[in-house]
A and B are shown apart, each in its own frame.
Chain A
């Protein structure tokens, strides 16, 4: 391991410039350290690649047997070779998008409040609280959603479907507003409730990324806007938000990635169905991770393979979303240093 640098020096014998070579010799403990560190990195890469590879290899029989129908079939019955992820994939996205619908304003408001409105004294405490919120275990959110939120949300769902039921998203089958005997349980265990709970789980991470980008908005331009007579909102709208746009998009995408992979809170709240069910207020929802948690235990070898394929699909989707997010965030940071 020798690194060479060429430096030209005057050679007194010939009076000419002559290349002199400098070499760094890495030896002894340093070389060992270098190799150990490299080895550590290699182990990690191996394990991590194994996860992806293993998912692919194990899921391959199922993918091969189902073919393209894997993404178009709604039912999940691998033992009779009739299975696909259409329903669960759609369900995953319904839950994640509902979550983002609620998480985006919450996170944006919190980030703006912390970076622009909050008194300096409580700012760092607020940052800690939001970070703490991201660390609260998902099962706790699940419990809260199942026992506390469900009874609270049911009347709201009922109101939405009664007055806005003509909109397909808010329709509920088997509910008739005129019939006083319809049970409100048709509104429990819905995509809507699961989405709200997941929103609370992803809002903190989204918010802290947005806040970080907002605080990087250049001071000179903020003060310039205020000096020109802008109100606080005028300053935010003309300086902070344009500079933080990458952070808003990136943070939201990162939140979306989290929302797609969320398992236990969703599993606890929903009652699984295996059809594409876009009526978000109605009982019954599903997601890929909930499917895995539901079916892994009594699965045959082939069903495990099918579950692996579903897991692979989920992994690929979150991977794409996360890479997109980190690219957007990285780009926004480099752009914000313009003053």
Chain B
């Protein structure tokens, strides 16, 4: 063994400039090592794709303009895509075997479908903002209501402040009800497993299927028809709450169940009660996930039109009192705007929809920023704070063991502290 190693060592020392491995059969000529490409994209594939695309577009243009009586932009795209697929399959089949052809064609189809979905989203966003620009460009769009502006007025008159205010008021009330109730129920579902809690979970899951219009109809039939109240912002918030609550509970329940059991067990082993465990361990650990659940629920609640349509009543005036008088929200205002045949009103509708979409986008971005982490995963800042606290604790324990008394910080509440009974330090 050693002599082999020695031999190798001397050989390496003897020819330090020669490559260590080389292909058999080329004993002396030092081979040039080319880096092997690990890329999954091959030049031939790219060329084939581009060629097929060009051929498909050319052939479709010919079909559309000379050969067949076809028309329409969408038709052009569809036909040329069909031809492209056909050409691509044929061309690949010239060079490759059957499984490879299938693989290539499926890859093209899958990527097209994904691209199509993203393109649709992109076009929804761009089209809405683009057509709303006319209205969004005027500052009065954000500062006035539609009380004095008629359908024929130019875009420099009237705005959607009433809808913005209405949306904010409604969602605030809905959140004020659904956050405490939703989190409490989620805690109940995850911390007190019993036959009853399973029943509650089933009902909540069933209710996530509730179509939003039925939630609106329920509030309309109870609060407005049966109890005889007028349509108001409060009724609309209740309808939104009924719709949002199951969504929040279900996602919060999922997040709470992801909290690692050993954290909770550690808390229980240290003698903490259920309540302390939930309050100091479970909820803080799941905080980011819970926030995400609430924000996504909010995004759904803000965007729903149908419950508000049935319960809020539409108004063109700014109304800040949710308990009396009709109120409107952003989606509902969009809806009433675009029902009008006037171009200016439609432009206002698109402007309102753009504002709504931006609002949802912001909420979504916040949710992503907070909720990208699972329970217990900390940001680097939180991590540093934890480490600092832990070091402090360690220092304190050691100091106590060694009998070092920490120099007392000047206590701003010293006078108050003297009135209260001192907590006894356990002597070690």
Contact = CB atoms under 8 A, between A and B. Distances in A.
Contacts of A204: 117
A36 B49 CA distance: 64
Contacts of B353: 137, 139-140, 143
Contacts of A120: none
A101 interface: no
Given A51-B214, A137-B331, A143 B113 contact: no
Nearest to A307: B217
A155 interface: yes
Contact of B361 (A47, A132, A200, A301): A132
B221 A268 contact: no
A140 B114 contact: no
B245 A47 contact: yes
Contact of A233 (B106, B121, B303): B106
B220 A34 contact: no
Which bracket fits the contact residues of B? 35 or more
A93 interface: no
Contacts of A227: none
Given A139-B356, A148-B123, A231-B103, A322 B208 contact: yes
Interface in A120-135: 126, 128-133, 135
A34 B274 CA distance: 8
A135 to B, nearest CB: 5
A133 B203 CA distance: 28
A136 interface: yes
A135 B350 contact: no
A109 interface: yes
B242 to A, nearest CB: 7
B102 interface: yes
Interface string B51-94: 00000000000000000001111110010000000000000000
B214 A136 contact: no
Interface string B329-363: 00100110010000000100110010011001101
Given A54-B221, A233-B102, A139 B78 contact: no
A54 B221 CA distance: 9
A300 to B, nearest CB: 11
B356 A140 contact: yes
A40 interface: yes
Interface stretch (A12-20, A81-89, A110-118, A243-251): A110-118
A264 B213 CA distance: 9
A135 B303 contact: yes
Contacts of A296: 217, 220, 310
Contact of A139 (B220, B249, B305): B305
Contacts of A138: 303-305
B305 A54 contact: no
Most buried by A among B196, B218, B357: B218
Interface stretch (A165-173, A217-225, A255-263): A255-263
Given A41-B196, A55-B214, A315-B211, A30 B274 contact: yes
B187 A153 contact: no
A44 B274 contact: no
Contacts of B208: 322
Nearest to B354: A140
B109 interface: yes
Nearest to B218: A51
Contact of A231 (B100, B309, B360): B100
Given A144-B128, A152-B74, A296-B310, A315 B209 contact: yes
Nearest to A109: B113
Contacts of A144: 123-124, 127-128
A232 B99 CA distance: 10
A108 B390 CA distance: 48
A123 to B, nearest CB: 12
Contact of A268 (B109, B114, B181, B335): B335
A137 B304 contact: yes
Contacts of B100: 231
Interface stretch (B144-152, B294-302, B400-408, B419-427): B294-302
A103 to B, nearest CB: 9
A320 B102 CA distance: 38
A13 to B, nearest CB: 32
Interface in A37-71: 37-38, 40-45, 47-51, 54-55, 58
Which bracket fits the contact residues of A? 35 or more
A137 B225 contact: no
Interface of A is mostly: helix
Interface in B206-239: 206-215, 217-218, 220-222, 225
Given A231-B99, A264-B335, A319 B206 contact: yes
Interface in A270-315: 289, 292-293, 296, 301, 304, 307-308, 311, 314-315
A234 B99 contact: yes
A133 B123 CA distance: 12
Most buried by A among B114, B273, B356, B368: B114
Interface in A69-110: 105-110
B184 A136 contact: no
A106 B213 contact: no
B204 interface: yes
Contacts of A32: 275
B255 to A, nearest CB: 15
The 6 tightest CB contacts between A and B, nearest first, are A109-B113, A155-B72, A137-B303, A261-B211, A40-B184, A113-B114
13 contacts: A37-B192, A41-B189, A106-B117, A135-B363, A137-B360, A138-B305, A140-B124, A268-B338, A296-B217, A304-B225, A311-B213, A318-B211, A322-B208
Interface of B: 70-75, 78, 99-100, 102-103, 106-107, 109-114, 116-118, 120-121, 123-125, 127-128, 131, 180-182, 184-185, 187-189, 191-192, 196-197, 199-200, 203-215, 217-218, 220-222, 225, 242, 245-246, 249, 273-275, 278, 296, 299-300, 302-306, 309-310, 331, 334-335, 338, 346, 349-350, 353, 356-357, 360-361, 363-364, 368
Interface of A: 26, 28-30, 32-34, 36-38, 40-45, 47-51, 54-55, 58, 105-110, 112-114, 116-118, 126, 128-133, 135-141, 143-144, 146-148, 152-156, 158-159, 200, 203-204, 207, 230-234, 236, 257, 260-264, 267-268, 289, 292-293, 296, 301, 304, 307-308, 311, 314-315, 318-319, 321-323, 326
